Amino acid sequence: MSRKRVEPKTPLGKRLTEVREALKFDEREPFAEALGLTVAMLGYYERGDRIPDAGVLALYRERFGINISWLVAGMGDMFDTAPAAPTLAYDVALLQKISDRVETIFAECRQKSPTRSTITEAALIYNELAKTISDIRDVQMVEAILPVLLLRFRERITTPGSGLGKYESSSF
């Protein structure tokens, strides 16, 4: 039996919920994971029990292109720019390669990662790669940039206080 939906107490909480639903996340758990938040914390924000800090609001902008003015004050459109329809499908082979490297890095750092974390990290790296180079099909550029992004990922999970360490919580 599902829980009764509680209406948000604040306009900000309502807009946070609208973002999640607009991005087709019916449940909080996968969306919280994509943001690097706990499900409980996302629930507090969406219900209006707590106000997210600037860092959390920045995650909405960085990860999903959400217009912070709209999020905070309801001004403008939800997205900074209309989400463009992808002209090409994801490069599944490249995404699998990144996912395999993420798993390897977790193992080399002696960290066990849930499958969802591996998928999330691989997708974030793929998106960063797509933002960095103009053509994701350019194998030479991918081979030049991907090691740098993977090194940043390795540093992030091995740096104390990053939230991805072996004994730390999963917040960014």
Residue ranges and CATH numbers for the domains of the chain are: 11-73 (1.10.260.40), 92-158 (no CATH)
The band of 171, judged by pLDDT with boundaries at 50, 70 and 90, is very low
The band of 161, judged by pLDDT with boundaries at 50, 70 and 90, is low
Q: Is 67 exposed, middle or buried (0-12, 13-18, 19+ CB in 10 A)?
A: middle
Three-state SS letters, 29-87: HHHHHHHCCCHHHHHHHHHCCCCCCHHHHHHHHHHHCECHHHHHHCCCCCECCCCCCCC
pTM of the entire predicted model: 0.49
pLDDT tens digits along 63-102: 888 999 999 999 999 998 654 444 446 788 888 999 999 9
pLDDT tens digits along 96-135: 999 999 999 999 998 887 778 888 899 999 988 888 888 8
pLDDT for 75 equals 92
**pLDDT at 22 > cutoff 70:** yes
